[in-house]
Structure 1
Amino acid sequence: MSLRHGHSIKAVEATIEIKITEGSSDFGARFAARMGGIADEVVLIDYGDRPVPVDGDGVVQISRRVVVVDKDGVLKLNARAWRGNSDGVDVAGEDDAEFTAQSARTSGAILDVGFAKLSVTAFWSLIPFV
């Protein structure tokens, strides 16, 4: 496990949900997030060549769902996906989404990786400080 940290006085957290809205889940994928202005990214999940696991509603099962963002910042999400076609050749797609940080709302975007469309929702909340 890797841990990355930074100093932010005012921050919010985004709980990420990724749902397959078109196409099937027979592809491998890597989902990563980062804050605008920062090059380091946090890998939410990397399935490699394994098919993306989804629940009955098409929601992709990711182990790291919460990302912290500066209150006045931007969350950038990247999806890379790949699968073999009938000739055994890998077909790859990639798309990005940007979300402006919110205090207590939701924001959404559609990622199109070519052979599937993914609906991404960020559920925003304030970070409780003790």
Structure 2
Amino acid sequence: MKRYLLAAAIVAGLFSAPAASADVVGFTSPSGNIGCILAEDLVRCDIATRDWTPPPRPADCPDFTDYGQGISLGPYGPAGFVCAGDTALGSGPALEYGQFQAGGGMSCNSEPSGMRCSNSDGHGFTLSQQAYTLF
């Protein structure tokens, strides 16, 4: 199964599990345009309004799901675009500029330029209304 489909399954499972059974932290950019979740094995950030276009939808991302609304990252390996029918928007309180959330070998920094998330092997992404980067 592709990672973005696996990520969607993990997120769906985390949100349906009782709060005591999963250590999931939700947070939002101060503007409210980006919502993120951070779990033991995944960080995912979705964006409400963007001025850019994601790459083309992969053939194995079903038409009945959304694509390109967010980016996910595991503790190792590269980030990728989300193919899912749910959202991380509105997942928690504002993470003020200059603050961060970390766990599971991943961290996200809230910056005036957008959200920047990375993992323990140096991969990650930036996400803002103006642009995204995968690194």
Q: TM-score, normalised by structure 2?
A: 0.29
> Could you say which structure has the higher strand fraction?
1
User: Could you say which structure has the larger radius of gyration?
Assistant: 1
More helix by share: 2
- Per the normalisation by structure 1, the TM-score is 0.30
